[in-house]
Homo-oligomer: A and B are copies of this chain.
Amino acid sequence: MKLYSYFRSSAAYRVRIALNLKGLPYEYVPVHLLRDGGEQLKPAYRQINADGIVPTLIDDEQHAIQQSLAIIEYLDETHPEPPLLPKLPVDRAHVRALALQVACEIHPLNNLRVLKYLKHTLRVDGAAKDAWYRHWIESGFETLERRLANDPRTGKLCYGDTPTLADLCLVPQVFNANRFDIETSCYATIQRIYDYASQLDAFARAAPGVQPDAE
Contact = CB atoms under 8 A, between A and B. Distances in A.
Work out how many copies of this chain go into the complex.
Answer: 2
Contact of A89 (B50, B78, B128, B135): B78
Contacts of A52: 143
Contacts of A131: 121
B92 A77 contact: yes
Given A74-B92, A93-B74, A105-B108, A69 B124 contact: no
Interface stretch (A94-102, A184-192, A197-205): A94-102
A73 interface: yes
Chain A contact residues (Cβ within 8 angstroms of B): what range? 35 or more
Contacts of A97: 65-67, 70
B89 A67 contact: no
A186 to B, nearest CB: 17
Nearest to A74: B93
A121 B77 CA distance: 43
A147 interface: yes
A117 B138 CA distance: 14
A97 B21 CA distance: 22
A45 interface: no
Interface in A67-117: 67, 69-71, 73-74, 77-78, 89-90, 92-94, 96-97, 100-101, 103-105, 107-109, 114, 117
Q: Which 9 A-B pairs have the closest CB atoms?
A: A70-B96, A108-B108, A74-B93, A67-B97, A67-B100, A70-B97, A77-B89, A51-B143, A66-B97
Interface of A: 50-53, 59, 61, 63, 65-67, 69-71, 73-74, 77-78, 89-90, 92-94, 96-97, 100-101, 103-105, 107-109, 114, 117, 121-122, 124, 128, 131-132, 135, 143, 146-147, 150
25 contacts: A50-B150, A51-B101, A51-B143, A63-B93, A65-B93, A65-B97, A66-B101, A67-B100, A67-B101, A69-B96, A69-B104, A70-B93, A70-B96, A73-B93, A74-B92, A74-B93, A77-B92, A78-B89, A104-B107, A109-B109, A117-B135, A121-B132, A121-B135, A122-B128, A122-B132
